[in-house]
Amino acid sequence: MNENNIKDSLSDNNQIIQILEAELNEYKKKNKFFEMLITSLPGFFYLFDNNYNIHSWNKNVEQVIGYSHEEITTKDIFELFSGRDAKFVERVIQKAFETGKGDIEAELVTKDGKKIPYFFSGVTANITGTSYLLGIGLDISRLKKAQTELLESEALYRLFADRITEGIMMFQNFQIIFVNNAFVKMFGFKNDDKIIGMDVMSFVSDNFNMYFREMYNALLDGICNERFFQARWLTKDSNEIWVEGRANLIQIKGKSTILITARDITETKLREISMQEEADVLRRENVKLRSSIKDRYRFGDIIGKSPAIQKVYELILNASASNANVIIYGESGTGKELVAKAIHQLSSRSSKRLVPVNCAAIPDNLLESEFFGHKKGAFTGANADKSGYLDRADGGCLFLDEVGELNPGLQAKLLRAIEDGGYSPVGSSALKKSDFRIIAATNKNLLEMSKTGKMREDFFFRIHIIPIQLPPLRSRKDDIPLLVEHFMRIYSKNKKIIKIPGQKMEEFIEYDWPGNVRELQNVIQRFIAVGSLDFLTPMLFDNMQNSNEKNSSSNTGNNDSNLKGTIEDIEKNCIIEALKKFKGNKSKAADSLGITRKTLSRKVKRLEIVI
C-alpha cells in the first residue's frame, strides 16, 4: 500500500468516525429528551426488572412518597405498600411478567406513614435477556372519596327507603330496578329478588294498562313532571288491590327513570265505591220517582208544565245521574243558568261548588288569569296570588255561560285540563290538577262554529256529550200564567198579591216575548214597583196610532220624533213612579226597575226628572 492509499484510507475512517459521533450525539440528545419527558410526567413513572431492582422513576415519585433518590435505590419496592396490599402487589407483578401486562389498585405508604390510594398499570419488555416492567401510577384519592361518599349516600337512601311505610319502586323502560321493603310486603313477596328485573306492567291490572302507559308517556315526553294516580294493581297471587300514589321522572346514571311512591287504599276505595253505588241507587230511585210524577209544574227554580218544559225536566234528570259534560242551548232569557243549577244540585257533585263564568264578559288578556289563576308578580297589578275558576270548581262544576265566546287558544288549554293534562297558573311552572265537570250554555250554533274554525272540533265534541235544548217562551205559552203568578209572589213580598186581569193575561199570552222569561220577569217587576202594568208593545202601538191620527199630515221625521218622545215619556213615568214609591231612594228604585243605580242617575239627569 503506497502513501496515497494510506492517506485515503485514513480520510475514509475519519469520515466514518465523524458520522458515528454525530449519530451518537443525536442519540444522546433524544435520550436526554425522553429522560426529561419521563421525569416530568404527572403521576408515577417507574421501571424495574424481574429481580425487583428499580432502574428509573420520575420526580413525582420522590415528591409523593418523600424518599430521596439515594433512598429509593436501596428500597425494596414492596416496602412501599402495607401488609396485605404488599402481597397482593407482588402476585400481580409476578403475573405481569408471565402475561406481559397487569394493573392493580393499592394503597401507597409514604415515608411519613400516610396511605394514598393509587392505580398502577404496566407492561413488560425483554431487553438483552432481561425482563423489565414499565408502568405508571395515578392518584385516585378523589375518586375513592367520591365512591365512598356515593356508597354512604346510597346506603343512607336505602335505609330511609326501607323505613318509609309507603311502597317505593323505580323502573327504566318498564323494567323494575329498585323496590323497598314496604313495596315487597304490599305485593306479597318475601324479598326483592323476585321483583327486580320484572316488567312493571305485570303488576298493573288489565283495565288500567292503557291508563298506566299514558301516564308513563306523559312523564317521559315532558308533558308533566309528576302524576297522581289511582289504579288497580295485582299482587303476587294475582289478587287485585287499589293503589294510590305519585309518579315522578328522574335521571339515574343518565337514564330516564320513573320513581313511584304507592300505598294500598283497597279498604278505603271499596268503602268509597260502596257508598257511591248506594248513592247512585238512591239517585236512580229519585229520578224514577220524579219521572213518575205527572203534570209537575215546578223543578227547582224552573216553572212550567207544558210538554216542552216537561221534556227539559227529563233531560235534567238524565244529566244529573251522569258525570258527563253538558251543553245547554237556548235563546237569551230562557233560563240556561237555572237548568245548570238544577243539574248540579241533583248530581253527585252537589256538595261542591257550581262556579259560573260569563265567557263574554272577560277581556282576552285576562282569560288565562281568570281561569287558571296567577302568582304574585306575574304581571302588572298581580299584587298577590289568586286562584282561578278551575281551582274553585275542583270537585264541583264549571258553568261556562256563552261558551261560544271563548277563543280557540283558551279552548285548547281547557281541553288539556279536562283531559287531566293539568294547567299552570300565570307566572308559575307548577302543574295543578282540578276534578271538574263542565256545564256549558250558548245561544249560538256551536256545530257550525266548529266547521268554520271559530271553535275547535276536539273541544266541541268534549263538551257536547249531553245536549239540552231549551224552548223559547213563545213555544210554551201554557206556562205563562204559572210564571206570572210565580213572579207576582216573589216581588210582592209582604204585600197583597194583585190579580192580573184576564184581558191583560190574554195580552201576555199573545205577545211573542223576544226576551223570553227574563223579559216577562222584568214586566212583572216593573208592575209591582210602579203600580201599573205597562205591557210595552201594545202601548207603543196605541200611542203611535193615536199620534199618527193627530198628526196625519206629519212627515216621516215627525213620526220618528213622536216614537222617541213616546218611549221617553213611558220611561220617565216608570222612573217617577218608582222614585215616589220608594220616597226618592235611588238604590231601591233602580232595583225595582231592573237597572243599576248609576244607570238610573244618568236617566234622571237626561230626562230632567226633579226628585
Domain boundaries, position 503: 477-606
What is the residue-wise DSSP string for 87-144?
Answer: HHHHHHHHHHHHHSEEEEEEEEE-TTS-EEEEEEEEEEEEETTEEEEEEEEEE-HHHH
Same domain, 73 and 131: yes
Is residue 22, in this structure, part of any structural domain at all? yes
133 backbone dihedrals φ, ψ, rounded to 5°: -115, 120
**Global pTM value:** 0.46
Determine the pLDDT at residue 470: 95
Determine the pLDDT at residue 248: 92
Is residue 345, in this structure, part of any structural domain at all? yes
Q: 349: domain CATH number?
A: 3.40.50.300
Q: Is 251 helix (H, G, I), strand (E, B) or coil?
A: strand
Determine the pLDDT at residue 429: 83
Is residue 125, in this structure, part of any structural domain at all? yes
Same domain, 58 and 94: yes
Same domain, 425 and 308: yes
Determine the pLDDT at residue 495: 67
Same domain, 585 and 537: yes
Same domain, 186 and 256: yes
Take residue 329 and report the three cell numbers written for it: 242551548
Distance (Å, whole) CA 84 – CA 86: 5
Same domain, 467 and 483: no
Is residue 290, in this structure, part of any structural domain at all? no
Same domain, 305 and 346: yes
Domain boundary among 245, 264, 283: 264
Kindly state the helix (H) or strand (E) to which residue 134 belongs, with its residue range: strand 130-139
Give the count of domains, the chain. Answer: 4
Take residue 248 and report the three cell numbers written for it: 315522578
Is residue 611, in this structure, part of any structural domain at all? no
Determine the pLDDT at residue 548: 44
Same domain, 303 and 260: no
Same domain, 180 and 134: no
**Where do the DSSP E strands lie in 180-307?**
226-234, 240-252, 255-264, 298-299, 302-303
Domain boundary among 139, 169, 195: 139
Residue of 367, 369, 356 lying closest to 328 (CA atoms): 356
Residue tagged 262554529 (cell numbers):
449
Distance (Å, whole) CA 530 – CA 593: 9
Q: 96: domain CATH number?
A: 3.30.450.20
Q: What's the average pLDDT block by block, 10 residues per block, for the chain (611 residues)?
A: 55 58 55 55 76 80 80 79 84 88 87 86 85 84 77 61 77 91 89 89 89 89 86 90 91 88 89 81 65 62 88 89 92 92 92 92 87 85 87 94 91 87 86 92 92 90 92 91 87 74 81 87 81 54 43 44 63 82 80 77 81 65
Is residue 280, in this structure, part of any structural domain at all? no
Is residue 389, in this structure, part of any structural domain at all? yes
Residue tagged 256551536 (cell numbers):
446
Same domain, 553 and 589: yes
Same domain, 394 and 483: no
Tell me how crowded residue 608 is: count the other CB atoms within 10 A of its CB. 7
Same domain, 126 and 151: no
Domain boundary among 428, 455, 471: 471
SS3 content of the chain, % helix, strand, coil (to 5): 50, 20, 30
Is residue 278, in this structure, part of any structural domain at all? no
